[in-house]
């Protein structure tokens, strides 16, 4: 294994096969799509192999047909050393011109102990940029690769399914759809939640309800066709009972069977998504939906959507008079004001 590529990859000497290592949740994987898309657009003959998580495979399995292999790194199913040995053997059985290790933990370099491929590791790269998307792209900055924002494809059949689903609820193509995401991954697993982090991840249910009522009043007063929807797994529906009660009919709640491609199509149909820092925040932004993101204790400059800044708004508890309250410090009125600006009214 070498930790510097020599010679530098250039349009005249482009790598043909690249291994990319990134294991994480959905949001973590969305943030590397600018790197993947930039590489694929730079060299049409490039073939990628990914080592990632199950969530990474679910997100990227249809990203581009030139992703030849997606190998899962699953520490839950096997002990770490067994899984690393399995993947090390897989890597040694193929040839790669370059390896991009997008993990801060240097132990991921152990996967490459059997080979001597040129390696670009984010853990050893100078940290001149804060956002992970910038850090990932910095690994190939010398290659002449064009920089892009996060992006994801949408399944056309799922778009048609969502259109029909919404039409049955009286929501047509001209309806302005505002999505709310009042949950986060793992919130229904109460034994694994960290109570101290809840205030930074959960906006109060009565705030969501108040926001929905404000949107409904605005729609009625301005004679505009605006609908507010929440889409959650059925097992999480009970988490928003109080929000739905207080919303007084201002929110349409969808609890469909799990279908990730359908969920992507729904996010793409929304005109605006309002959410705390979450996986759906990254998904929606990458799908071209405008986002209003609520932050506390995290810096959107480091972990916000990796898209054109004009396409999202970050509201921070740290910019309020009582940041110690977490997301509660951000009022429904502040969010509604941001929404009005996004809607151009």
Give the model's confidence band at 297: pLDDT under 50 very low, under 70 low, under 90 confident, else very high.
very high
Measure the CA–CA gap between 9 and 6, rounded to whole angstroms.
8
Which parts of the chain are beta strand (E)? 17-21, 47-52, 67-72, 98-101, 119-121, 176-180, 226-231, 252-254, 272-276, 290-295, 312-316
The reported pLDDT for the residue numbered 20 is 98
**Domain identity same for 102 and 163:** no
**Domain identity same for 117 and 172:** no
The token pair that represents 23 in the structure block: 């294991």
Q: pLDDT tens digits, residue range 92-114?
A: 999 999 999 999 998 899 999 99
149 belongs to a structural domain: no
196 belongs to a structural domain: yes
3 belongs to a structural domain: no
**Domain identity same for 204 and 305:** yes
**Domain identity same for 206 and 300:** yes
Measure the CA–CA gap between 59 and 260, rounded to whole angstroms.
8
The reported pLDDT for the residue numbered 7 is 45
Measure the CA–CA gap between 40 and 296, rounded to whole angstroms.
35
Most confident of 11-15, 51-55, 128-132, 134-138: 51-55
114 belongs to a structural domain: yes
**Domain identity same for 87 and 184:** no
**Domain identity same for 110 and 169:** no
Give the model's confidence band at 158: pLDDT under 50 very low, under 70 low, under 90 confident, else very high.
very high
**Domain identity same for 163 and 111:** no
The pTM of the full predicted model, rounded to 2 decimals, is 0.92
**Domain identity same for 94 and 198:** no
Q: What are the DSSP calls for 265-278, one per residue? A: HHHHH-SEEEEESS
Cβ partners under 8 Å of residue 56, min gap 6: 22, 23, 24, 28, 29, 50, 70
**Domain identity same for 58 and 205:** no
2 belongs to a structural domain: no
**Domain identity same for 178 and 322:** yes
State the CATH number of the domain containing residue 135.
3.40.50.2000
239 belongs to a structural domain: yes
Domain count, the chain: 2
193 belongs to a structural domain: yes
Measure the CA–CA gap between 241 and 333, rounded to whole angstroms.
22
**Domain identity same for 166 and 80:** no
Task: Tell me phi and psi for residue 96, to 5 degrees.
Answer: -130, 140
The token pair that represents 343 in the structure block: 């809607």
Per-residue pLDDT, averaged over 184-202, amounts to 65
Range(s) of the domain holding residue 57: 17-143
């Amino acid at each position: 294994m070498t930790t510097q590529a020599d010679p530098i990859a250039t349009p005249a000497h482009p790598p043909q096969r690249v291994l990319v290592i990134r294991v994480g949740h959905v949001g973590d994987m969305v943030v590397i799509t600018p790197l993947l898309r930039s590489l694929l657009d730079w060299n049409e003959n490039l073939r990628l192999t990914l080592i990632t998580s199950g969530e990474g495979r679910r997100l990227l399995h249809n990203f581009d047909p030139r992703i030849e292999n997606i190998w899962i790194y699953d520490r839950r199913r096997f002990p770490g050393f067994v899984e690393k040995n399995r993947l090390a053997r897989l890597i040694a059985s193929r040839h790669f011109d370059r390896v991009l290790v997008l993990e801060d933990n240097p132990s991921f370099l152990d996967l490459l102990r059997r080979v001597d491929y040129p390696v670009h590791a984010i853990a050893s790269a100078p940290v001149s940029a804060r956002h992970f998307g910038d850090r990932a792209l910095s690994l190939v900055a010398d290659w002449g690769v064009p920089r892009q924002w996060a992006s994801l494809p949408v399944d056309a059949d799922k778009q048609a399914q969502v259109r029909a689903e919404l039409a049955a609820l009286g929501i047509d193509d001209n309806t302005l759809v505002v999505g709310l995401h009042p949950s986060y991954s793992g919130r229904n697993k109460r034994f694994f939640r960290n109570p101290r982090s809840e205030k930074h991840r959960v906006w109060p249910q009565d705030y969501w309800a108040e926001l929905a009522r404000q949107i409904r009043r605005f729609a009625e007063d301005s004679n505009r066709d605006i609908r507010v929807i929440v889409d959650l797994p059925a097992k999480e529906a009970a988490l928003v009972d109080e929000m739905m009660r207080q919303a007084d009919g201002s929110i349409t709640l969808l609890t469909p069977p799990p279908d990730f491609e359908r969920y992507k199509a729904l996010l793409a149909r929304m005109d605006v998504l309002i959410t705390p820092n979450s996986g759906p925040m990254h998904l929606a932004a990458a799908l071209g939906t405008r986002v209003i993101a609520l932050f506390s204790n995290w810096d959107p400059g480091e972990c916000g959507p990796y898209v054109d800044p004009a396409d999202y708004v970050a509201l921070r508890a740290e910019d309020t008079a009582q940041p110690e309250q977490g997301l509660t410090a951000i009022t429904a009125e502040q969010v509604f004001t941001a929404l009005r600006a996004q809607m151009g009214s």
